[in-house]
Structure 1
Amino acid sequence: MEIRATDPESDLARRCLSAFADELRVRFPEGFDDGDLVAARELVPPGGVLLVATADRGTGLACGAVRTIAPATGELRHMWVHPDARGQGLGRRLLGELEAHATTLGLTTLKLGTHAVLTEAVQLYRSAGYAGVEPYGDTPHVHHWFAKQLTQAADAP
């Protein structure tokens, strides 16, 4: 399995983001609109990145994005793992890769919001060191707000 930065306009990215949106339409009581997805232009360096995890044949198994929302502050968005790939640590691995990419974009803080029904996401973020914060935006479908200070590559052992 490989996790790599992907053009957010590519077919692979569109398939992953469509699967993400399709799942949220089912899981969110209020539904989900594709208009709530981040614009592709926000998910390319130097302002952001979209990562996609692929299997041997290039099948998209997971995706996640970081976009810059303020100086040195990024937002984690569209984190999704295919149901068949869950429970194997892929979400945690993807989250680590997103954090590493965020530091290369010069971000020192990552924020995120998630829906109350996504209990597995809340658990992942808390276990990865994200702490609850006051709401910071008007992102729809958010009940839990989190943030984490990132360790810069130069600070790492």
Structure 2
Amino acid sequence: MDIRAIDPESPLARRCLTAYAAELRTRFPEGFDDGDLVAASELTPPAGVLLVAGDGMGCAAVRTIAPQTGEVRHMWVHPNARGQGLGRRLLTELEHHAHDDLGLTTLRLGTHEVLTEAAALYRSAGYDAVDPYGDTAHVHHWFAKSLR
């Protein structure tokens, strides 16, 4: 399955992000508001990038939050594509784009306590637990990784 950067305002991007938000609404006890999605302008180079796998079987984004520092957002794999390594492939490809295209040397991210599979992926990909940062809603665990 191909993974590529796309325009965050494209129909494919909207479909993928809508599916991501719909799943979070069902999994988060407090629900999820589409207003918590990152603005398209923050996911367009040089500010950030949005990757999509195939025809919307997964997505991952990074946005610049400080000089040389990015934040991973909207990491999601369609339920039918889980367990096949697509999440790891998306994360690896996102790290390459963050470093090579955006010049980022550190990635940060946060995840909800119910997303245990996401936290396990981040740990196994070399992300370390860090102190809380920012005001991102729905976050209980924070991680960071050096891309140097």
Gaps of 5+ in 1: 152-157
Deviations 1:17-75 (A, max 9, x none): 00000000000000000000000000010110000001xxxx21000000000000000
> Do residues 113 (structure 1) and 116 (structure 2) align?
no
Structure number with bigger Rg: 1
**Equivalent residue runs for 1:4-153 within 5 Å:** 4-54=4-54, 59-104=55-100, 105-151=102-148
RMSD: 0.5
Moved over 3 A (4+): none
Q: How far did 1:145 drift?
A: 0.2
Deviations 1:73-108 (A, max 9, x none): 000000000000000000000000000000021000
- In structure 2, distance between residues paired with 1:128 and 1:39: 26
Give the aligned length: 147
Gaps of 5+ in 2: none
Q: How far did 1:111 drift?
A: 0.1
TM superposition score normalised by structure 2: 0.98
- In structure 2, distance between residues paired with 1:16 and 1:68: 21
Report the identity percentage.
78
TM superposition score normalised by structure 1: 0.93
- Secondary structure of residue in 2 paired with 1:60: coil
- In structure 2, distance between residues paired with 1:65 and 1:101: 10
- Secondary structure of residue in 2 paired with 1:74: strand
- In structure 1, distance between residues paired with 2:99 and 2:21: 27
